Amino acid sequence: MAQNCQIPLQVLDVEAVTNPTIGALCDYWCALAGGQPPDRALFDFMKIYKVAPNLLMAERVAPETFKFIYCGTVVAENFPRDLTGATYGPTTPRVSRIDWPVFFSEVLDEPCLRYGRVSIDWANEEHRDIIYGACPLLGKDGRPTYVVACLAFLQRSPFDPR
């Protein structure tokens, strides 16, 4: 779990908190501004390049509307489509049950560091769940505008009936 986090933690899944890949993002995020949401300009993918394939970043462009500005290769390979450049809002047809606009809004509206899990609801032979950590970043106006999330895909058991 991110050390010295100065904003609320939402721990919806304990396994997400202890995952080393997710922990690398959250610890880096915490170090940028002493546990407060840092400016987007401070976030440098090269500083955490080892987990960059697991990262997803989105910018809020309107209430409950987000544009994906980065989708790491691990994320792109395991989702039904590469999300880079896609904009999702309340009326956008979803490619999965993951409600990105609500999920990201919760991280930004009352800035929090959020750890959770979601079941994969599309054909994926290898993985069954996603665990994640999501952190807010500030825009040029000093308001929470960006969300960076680290996703880890959990292996499906050979006995999983799905």
Whether 39 maps to a domain, the answer reads: yes
| Backbone CA torsion sign across 20, 21, 26, 32 | positive
Whether 146 maps to a domain, the answer reads: yes
- pLDDT per residue over 40-52, tens digit each? 999 999 999 999 9
Whether 87 maps to a domain, the answer reads: yes
CB contact at 8 A, 122 and 96? yes
Print the domain residue range for 148.
Answer: 9-155
H or E stretch at 109: helix 100-109
Whether 137 maps to a domain, the answer reads: yes
Mean pLDDT of 69-75: 94
Total structural domains in the chain?
A: 1
Residue 45, pLDDT score: 94
State whether residue 98 is helix, strand or coil.
coil
For residue 94, pLDDT over 90 is answered with no
Whether 2 maps to a domain, the answer reads: no
Mean pLDDT of 153-162: 64
CA distance 91 to 82: 19
CA distance 77 to 73: 6
Whether 1 maps to a domain, the answer reads: no
Query: Which one has a higher pLDDT value, 118 or 57?
Result: 57
| Range of 4-13, 82-91, 98-107 with top mean pLDDT | 4-13
Q: Residue 102 belongs to a domain with what CATH number? A: 3.30.450.20
Whether 162 maps to a domain, the answer reads: no
Q: What percent of the chain has a predicted confidence (pLDDT) above 70?
A: 89
Whether 50 maps to a domain, the answer reads: yes
